[in-house]
Amino acid sequence: MLGLICLASFLVIEHAAFAANTKKSAPDLGPTMRFVVVRSSAPGCEPTCPEWISAEGSIEAGTPALFKRTLKGLGGRKLPVVVDSPGGNVEAALALGRLLRKNKLDIAVGKTQFTGCQPDAKDCKEKDGKGARYFGNAYADGAICNSACPLMFAGGIRRVVGQWAHLGVHQITTTYIRTKLQYRTTYRVVRGKKKILSKKIVGRKNAGSYKTYEMSKSVEKRLAAYLNEMGVGQAVLETMKNTPASTIQQLTPYDMLQTKLVTSLDAVDLLTAATLCNTDPVAANCREIPAPAGDVVAYAKPAPAAPAEPETVHRADIGDMRFALVRGRSFLCDPNCPEWISAEGMISAQTPERLRQLLDTIGDRRLPVVINSPGGDVLGALAAGKLIRERKLDVAVARTDFIGCEPDKADCTAEDGVYVGLTIDASGECGAACPIMLAGGVRRLVGPRAQLTVHSMGLEQRVKTYLKDMAVGPGLLVAMRSVPASRHRQLEPEMMLKVGLTTGLESADEFTGPTICKSEPMPENCRVVSTSEVQADAPVKL
C-alpha cells in the first residue's frame, strides 16, 4: 500500500542553562556589560596617554559578540581590560576568558570614572577633535568581579585585583528548561513498514523549568579543564563548589596569588597609570595623539626650571615634602591593619626637621616610609637619609592615595593624627636627590612599576661618602655621573639591586599590604584598633 500519511507527535525535552547567580531566585544583575575604549584624562599625560577597555555590567549570552566587535574596532591594538561585574552567564564568561587569552590581553578589576562624555550619553560632542571618544580615570575602590566574572578574569595574561577591589565566587546555578515540541512527520507505508520521508517541528511550548545548585560531573570537568587551560589552580573550583549560591566568598589576595588567579598583588594602576607612557619603550596601550591646530599649549608639558645651583632641582608645580601618618583600611586586615609614613613632594632644606618632628610624635614605633618625590635639595636628602638610618626605618617608593580627605586640604582633620589610605606602586617616583634619601632605609624597595631616576647633582664627594656609609656601591654614583643634570636615567630593578640601592625586588605592599599583619611574627607597623572603631569607619563590604 502506497500513500502519504501526516501525523502529529509530541516530545518533551530538557536543556540546561548555566548561571552563577547571587540568589536562588533569578536576580537583577543590572545593565548588560558594555565595552568602551577609554583614554586616560590624567593631567599632563598628553600627547601620549594610556588607553584601556572599560567592561562594566552583567555578563549575558550576547556579551562575547559585543566584545568581539570592540576588539575588531581596535585593529589589533592590545588594550588591557578594566572589569567591574556582578557576574551572570557562565558559558559567556568562559567565552570572554578565551577571547582575552586568544588576543593576549591583560585584565584588572576596577571602575572607570568618565570625564566629559558618558557611555550612555547620546550625541555627545564634548571631546570631538581630541582624538578619542571617551576619557576617564580607572580606580579600584569598590570595584567587583563576582560570581561568573572570575571565569572571564582568568583568561587575562596579567591579572590584578587591588586591595580595595573585590573578587568573589560561589556555586553555579543550573537551570533545566523543559520544552514541549510538536512535530509533523510525513511517511509512507511500504510492504507494511513505515518509511519516514520528513520530520519538521511545527510547534514549541515552554513546559516548565527547575534549578539545581549541585554541580554535575560534566560541568565540573569542563570548568576544571578551563581553569587548567588558563593556568589557574583547581582550589578556585573547590571554593566555588563549597560556597552556597546565596552568598559570595571573597578571595583574599594571598589565596588568589597561591592559586595563580592573579599574577601579582598590584592594582588597576599597573595597567592604566599615566607613568606607563614615560618608560622606554612605552607600554603597548599608550597612544600618541598630536595636538590639534590652535591647541598646542593644552598638550605641552611644562619644562622644569633650570636649577639655581648644581646640587638642587626645583619644581614649581610640586610643593615641599610633607609627612603624614597613614593607616590602611581593608576587610582583609581590620581590626589589625598596617601603618606607614607617607612622604610626598619636593625635598627641601626643611625636610629633615619636618621628618624628625613627626617621628617624635610616634615615640619608639618604627614605621616604614613610603616616598614619592621628583627630587630636590641634595643636602636635605642627605640629612633625611641619615635620620632614617638612625631610626632604623624601612623605605619604599610608591604613591599614597588618601581615602576620605587629603592632608593638604584645609577642612581635612585626621582622627588621632592618622589618615586612611593605600599605596600604589605604579604612580610612584623617586628622582634626582630622592634616591639619596631612599639609600638611608634599612630595607629599601622599589617595585617593578615604580620609577627611580638619577642624574648628576654636584656635591659629589659628600654624596660618595654618604653612599659608602649606607653600604651602597659606587655603581650608583657612576650612574649619576653619566647623565647631565638636564636629563635623567631610569634605573632598572636589577641595576638598583646590583649597586645595592635596593635590598629586594618587592613592591611597597611588602610594608603596607593588608595581609602582612597576619604573618608571624607580626610586623611592628601593625596596630590593633577597637572593634567599635572599625565598625564605625570601615567601608561597606560587598
pLDDT band at 208 (very low <50, low <70, confident <90, very high): low
Instruction: Give me the pLDDT at residue 53, please.
Output: 97
Q: pLDDT digit string (tens) for 87-143?
A: 999 999 999 999 999 999 999 999 999 988 888 777 776 555 567 889 999 998 889
Exposure string of 457-479, with b = 16+ CB inside 10 Å and e = fewer, is bebeeebeebbeebebeebbbeb
What pLDDT was estimated at residue 337?
A: 85
Q: Has residue 13 got a pLDDT over 70?
A: no
**pLDDT band with cut points at 50, 70 and 90 for residue 81:** very high
Of the listed ranges 24-33, 519-528, 529-538, the least confidently predicted one is 529-538
Identify whether the C-beta of residue 44 lies closer than 8 Å to the C-beta of residue 76: no
pLDDT at 229 over 90: yes
Residues in the chain: 542
Residue type, 37: V
pLDDT at residue 12, rounded to an integer? 44
The domain segmentation of the chain, as residue ranges, is 34-173+217-275, 322-518
Among the residue ranges 143-147, 468-472, 506-510, 532-536, the one predicted with the least confidence is 532-536
The average pLDDT across 508-519 equals 84
**Mean pLDDT, residues 1-23:** 44
Q: What is the pLDDT of residue 218?
A: 83
pLDDT, position 70 = 95
- Answer for the pair 84, 111: CB distance below 8 angstroms, yes or no: yes
Going from the C-alpha of 427 to that of each of 141, 180, 405, the distances in angstroms are: 16, 59, 19
Of 535 and 345, more confident: 345
Which residues contact residue 300 at a Cβ distance below 8 angstroms, ignoring those fewer than 6 apart?
A: 291
- The CA distance from 106 to 176, in Å, is 35
275: confidence class by pLDDT, cuts 50, 70, 90:
confident
Confidence of residue 501 (pLDDT cuts 50, 70, 90): very high
Alpha-carbon distances of 531 from 202, 250, 334, 336, 517, rounded to whole Å: 66, 21, 8, 10, 16
Q: Encode pLDDT of 283-292 as tens digits.
A: 899 999 886 5
SS (H, E, C) 267-287: CCHHHHCHHHHHCCCCCCCEE
Q: Could you give the 3-state DSSP secondary structure of residue 116?
A: coil
pLDDT digits (tens, 9 = 90+) for 349-406: 899 999 998 898 888 889 999 999 999 899 999 999 999 999 999 999 998 888 877 7
Residue 334 has pLDDT above 70, yes or no: no
Q: Which residue has the cell 568581539?
A: 68
Helix (H) or strand (E) holding 26: none
pLDDT on residue 210: 53
Pick from 44-53, 209-218, 254-263: least confident:
209-218
User: How are beta strands 48-56 and 286-288 bridged, if at all?
Assistant: antiparallel
* CB-based contacts of 475, cutoff 8 Å, min separation 6: 495, 498, 499, 500
Give 436-467 pLDDT, tens digit per residue.
999 999 999 998 788 898 888 778 888 989 99
CB 372, CB 324: distance < 8 Å: no
pLDDT value of residue 488: 78
Q: How confident is the model at residue 425 (pLDDT cuts 50, 70, 90)?
A: confident
**β 336-344/526-528 pair status:** antiparallel
Q: Could you tell me what percent of the chain has a pLDDT over 90?
A: 38
**pLDDT of res. 312:** 44
Predicted local distance difference test score (pLDDT) of residue 255: 87
What homologous superfamily does CATH list for 34-173+217-275?
Answer: 2-enoyl-CoA Hydratase; Chain A, domain 1 (3.90.226.10)
**Separation between Cα atoms, residue 252 and residue 539, nearest integer Å:** 17
Chain segment 136-169, per-residue pLDDT in tens: 999 988 899 998 999 999 999 999 998 788 999 9
Confidence of residue 532 (pLDDT cuts 50, 70, 90): very low
| 8 Å CB contact between 122 and 146 | no
Q: Over 70: is that where the pLDDT of 175 sits?
A: no
Q: What is the pLDDT of residue 141?
A: 83
Asked if the model's pLDDT at residue 496 lies above 60, the reply is yes
Instruction: Return the half-sphere exposure (C-beta side, CA atoms, 13 A cut-off) of residue 15.
Output: 5
CATH topology identical between 34-173+217-275 and 322-518: yes
Cα separation of 36 and 16, whole Å? 32
Greatest Cα pair distance in the chain: 115
pLDDT recorded at residue 299? 41
pLDDT band at 193 (very low <50, low <70, confident <90, very high): confident
Q: What is the 3-state secondary structure (H, E, C) of 40-92?
A: ECCCCCCCEEEEEEEEECEECCCHHHHHHHHHHHCCCCCCCEEEEECCEEHHH
**Average pLDDT in the 6-34 region?**
53
Edge-to-edge strand order for the sheet containing 173-190? 5-19, 173-190, 193-212
CA distances from 20 to 67, 248, 343 (A): 20, 10, 44
Looking at residue 363, what is its pLDDT?
86
Cis status, amide bond into 448, omega within 30 of 0 = no
Cell numbers describing residue 51: 588607553
Mean pLDDT over each residue of the chain, to the nearest integer? 81
* Residue 70 buriedness (CB in 10 A; 0-12 / 13-18 / 19+): middle
Q: Does domain 322-518 have CATH number 3.90.226.10?
A: yes
CA distance 98 to 483: 46
Q: What is the DSSP string of 213-226?
A: -SPPHHHHHHHHHH
